[in-house]
């Protein structure tokens, strides 16, 4: 089959009701075309710049430490602005050190794509992320060796999902390849994450590793000049909710807090439009497929247009933008990129597909043969034509792969792993489902306010925090406390440590 024929098949108009494919009724498209043609109704640009944030004292301290060349571990619970701060610091360092020497990585494809970076594994030259990192693989990979020698500042987001053994191995490789006796061969390391959120996924054959977390690595303490915990939560403004979530993060919930949660949350069956969070992908796919089939509506398939080469292109598949998405009228969708923050069109905004339009000034037939775009009515009330977005994998200063796709995913259901890092207006989760350490906290801490939280299966025994992670934070707090007393500053002024002993 020719490439063209294959491409046409791939993006052919599909119908999940099982009926034979048919083109959409012209009249419907006509009406929406008219709406889209009306300039007043159309978004001016999807690239509106977000207004700059006013940094807190904690965040400012981190900015100056990093600007001064220090290696920093930025801790903080959900919604304390770790990612927002990281984006700012990345820009600062790229401007000061040069784009080609600053490498942005994350332990997951989703987080890496969100930062326009690459996975830690791709950066490092690890061929098989599911297995033990092979030093030989890395030494044989000329491009990876070049990166290791060239890098001056290395960012690692979602460090909570990097295990201690990998962290130690990479530090050792950095020293050897850079022929330097300094920790990490003198690389400035900036790591962020919350060890009380999702833990590392055990590698095959490594279930009983004694170094489950990065903070258990032998080199952890010498890797950072400074370890700082952000304490101001921005995602939620309700102080009681913040307090309850902080308790859940630590695996604690008082009877009062439990009652408060039970009474304040909507415990009745939520509106079917509310996003359901599940721990497992199978459940997510089952719900989304069932719901879209139930609509039995005609729609379109949007296929991602990728360029670049492997392993970078493979990373795009692990990001948020789907390889393929079928959309029809009535489909519940979520925006997976910030389009216009001042208008509420942010990553995590949920809405319903209300139609399709053919743009006059844009060719989008690479995504959908019919050259159309979906129109979404967001729950906030705005109706917007969703233009394609591009996700990049950046290696130093070069774009090594990119994916163009409609920035939408189906949103009747979402996995807890995928929603880590998101803010949501409303969600439903069933607490009786199998949750591991940190899962309940990750799920609940996505919501901005209690009015948007729908819970079922109340059972306080499922709230649990990893004891090793708890101990790590206790030591961090103790060191900060000690340091505050030593130099006479208050605890609030000094929630950081120059040296934390990570050994138990
Ligand atoms: N200094 C600040 N002032 C106001 N809002 C802020 C500030 N810093 C961050 N925010 C906002 O707080 C929200 C949560 O921030 P962010 O997603 O960076 O948190 P996070 O710590 O990375 O959360 P998570 O651990 O859940 O990924 C975002 O909407 C962000 O814009």
CB 169 within 8 A of CB 162: no
Q: Do 268 and 213 share a domain, yes or no?
A: no
Q: Whose CA is nearest to atom 27 of ligand 1?
A: 421
Residue 450 within a domain? yes
Question: Which residue is listed with tokens 């103790």?
Answer: 478
Residue 391 within a domain? no
Residue of 49, 234, 419, 421 to mutate, ligand 1, most atoms within 8 A of C-beta: 234
pLDDT > 70: percent of the chain: 80
Ligand 1, closest atom to CA 76? Answer: 21
Tokens of 421: 């890092």
Residue 266 within a domain? yes
Q: Do 86 and 154 share a domain, yes or no?
A: yes
ipTM given for this complex: 0.97
The per-residue pLDDT for 68 is 96
Residue 396 within a domain? no
Q: Do 260 and 363 share a domain, yes or no?
A: yes
Residue 443 within a domain? yes
The per-residue pLDDT for 49 is 39
Lowest-confidence region among 206-215, 221-230, 364-373, 458-467: 206-215
Structural domain including 476 reads 3-35+55-234+471-502
Q: What is the pTM of this model?
A: 0.77
Q: Hey, which residues does 377 pair with through a beta bridge?
A: 352, 383
Q: Do 230 and 243 share a domain, yes or no?
A: no
Q: Structural domain tally of the chain? A: 2
* Residues lining ligand 1, Cβ inside 6 A: 53-56, 59, 76, 78-84, 194, 234-235, 421, 423
Measure 187 CA to ligand 1 centroid, in angstroms: 27
Question: Which residue is listed with tokens 């999940």?
Answer: 16
Q: Do 111 and 226 share a domain, yes or no?
A: yes
The per-residue pLDDT for 131 is 56
Residue 394 within a domain? no
In 3D, which of 196, 229, 234 has the Cα closest to residue 80?
Answer: 234
Secondary structure (3-state) at 23: coil
Strand order in the sheet with 332-335: 383-385, 373-378, 350-357, 332-335, 408-410
Phi, psi of 439 (to 5 degrees): -70, -45
Measure 424 CA to ligand 1 centroid, in angstroms: 13
The per-residue pLDDT for 203 is 62
Q: Do 480 and 341 share a domain, yes or no?
A: no
Average pLDDT over residues 360-375: 84
Q: Do 147 and 226 share a domain, yes or no?
A: yes
Q: Do 77 and 215 share a domain, yes or no?
A: yes
The per-residue pLDDT for 133 is 58
Q: Do 273 and 422 share a domain, yes or no?
A: yes
Average pLDDT over residues 165-184: 94
Q: Do 246 and 337 share a domain, yes or no?
A: yes
Ligand 1, closest atom to CA 230? Answer: 21
pLDDT tens per residue across span 19-46: 333 323 222 222 222 223 333 333 333 2
Residue of 52, 74, 84 to mutate, ligand 1, most atoms within 8 A of C-beta: 84
Q: Do 96 and 147 share a domain, yes or no?
A: yes
Residue 13 within a domain? yes
Task: Please report which confidence band the pLDDT of residue 260 belongs to, taking 50, 70 and 90 as the band edges.
Answer: confident
Q: Do 272 and 184 share a domain, yes or no?
A: no
Residue 49 within a domain? no
The rounded distance, in Å, linking the Cα atoms of 8 and 15 is 15
CATH number of the domain enclosing 177: 3.40.50.300
The per-residue pLDDT for 45 is 31
Residue of 77, 81, 438 to mutate, ligand 1, most atoms within 8 A of C-beta: 81
Task: Please report which confidence band the pLDDT of residue 472 belongs to, taking 50, 70 and 90 as the band edges.
Answer: very high
pLDDT tens per residue across span 271-302: 777 899 988 888 899 999 999 999 999 999 99
pLDDT tens per residue across span 108-136: 877 887 788 888 988 998 876 555 556 77
Measure 493 CA to ligand 1 centroid, in angstroms: 20
């Amino acid at each position: 089959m020719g490439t063209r024929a294959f491409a046409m098949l791939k993006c052919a108009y599909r119908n999940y009701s099982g009926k034979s494919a048919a083109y959409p009724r012209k009249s419907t498209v006509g009406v929406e075309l008219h709406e889209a043609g009306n300039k007043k109704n159309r978004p001016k640009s999807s690239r509106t710049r977000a207004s700059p944030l006013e940094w807190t004292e904690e965040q400012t301290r981190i900015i100056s430490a990093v600007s001064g060349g220090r290696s920093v571990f930025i801790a903080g619970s959900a919604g304390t602005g770790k990612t927002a701060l990281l984006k700012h610091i990345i820009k600062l360092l790229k401007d000061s050190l040069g784009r080609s020497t600053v490498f942005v990585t994350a332990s997951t494809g989703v987080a890496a794509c969100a930062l326009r970076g690459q996975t830690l594994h791709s950066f490092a030259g690890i061929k098989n992320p599911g297995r033990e990192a092979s030093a030989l693989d890395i030494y044989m990979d000329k491009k990876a060796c070049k990166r290791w020698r060239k890098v001056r500042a290395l960012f690692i987001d979602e460090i909570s999902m990097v295990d201690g053994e990998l962290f130690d191995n990479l530090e050792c490789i950095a020293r050897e390849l850079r022929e330097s006796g300094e920790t990490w061969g003198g690389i400035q390391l900036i790591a962020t994450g919350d060890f009380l959120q999702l833990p590392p996924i055990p590698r095959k054959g490594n279930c009983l590793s004694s170094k489950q977390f990065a903070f258990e690595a032998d080199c952890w303490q010498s890797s950072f000049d400074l370890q700082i915990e952000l304490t101001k939560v921005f995602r939620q403004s309700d102080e009681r909710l913040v307090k309850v979530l902080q308790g859940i993060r630590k695996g604690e919930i008082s009877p009062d807090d439990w009652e408060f949660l039970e009474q304040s949350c909507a415990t009745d069956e939520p509106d079917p439009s509310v996003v359901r969070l599940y721990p497992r992908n199978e459940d997510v796919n089952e719900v989304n497929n069932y719901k879209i089939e139930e609509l039995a509506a005609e729609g379109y398939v949007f296929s991602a247009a990728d360029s670049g080469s492997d392993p970078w292109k493979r990373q795009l598949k692990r990001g948020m933008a789907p390889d393929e998405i079928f959309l029809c009228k009535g489909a519940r969708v979520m925006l997976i990129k910030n389009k216009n923050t001042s208008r509420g069109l942010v990553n995590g905004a949920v809405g319903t597909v209300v139609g399709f339009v053919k743009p006059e000034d844009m060719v989008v037939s690479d995504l959908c043969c019919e050259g159309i775009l979906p129109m979404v009515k967001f729950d906030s009330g705005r109706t917007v034509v969703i233009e394609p977005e591009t996700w990049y994998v950046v290696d130093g200063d070069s774009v090594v792969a990119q994916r163009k796709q409609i920035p939408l995913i189906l949103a009747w259901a979402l996995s807890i792993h995928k929603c880590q890092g998101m803010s949501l207006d409303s969600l439903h989760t069933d607490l009786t489902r199998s949750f591991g350490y940190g899962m309940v906290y990750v799920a609940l801490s996505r919501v901005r306010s209690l009015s948007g939280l729908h819970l079922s299966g109340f059972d306080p025994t499922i709230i649990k925090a990893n004891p090793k992670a708890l101990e790590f934070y206790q030591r961090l707090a103790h060191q900060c406390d000690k340091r505050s007393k030593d130099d006479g500053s208050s605890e609030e002024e000094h929630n950081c440590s120059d040296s934390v002993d990570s050994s138990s």
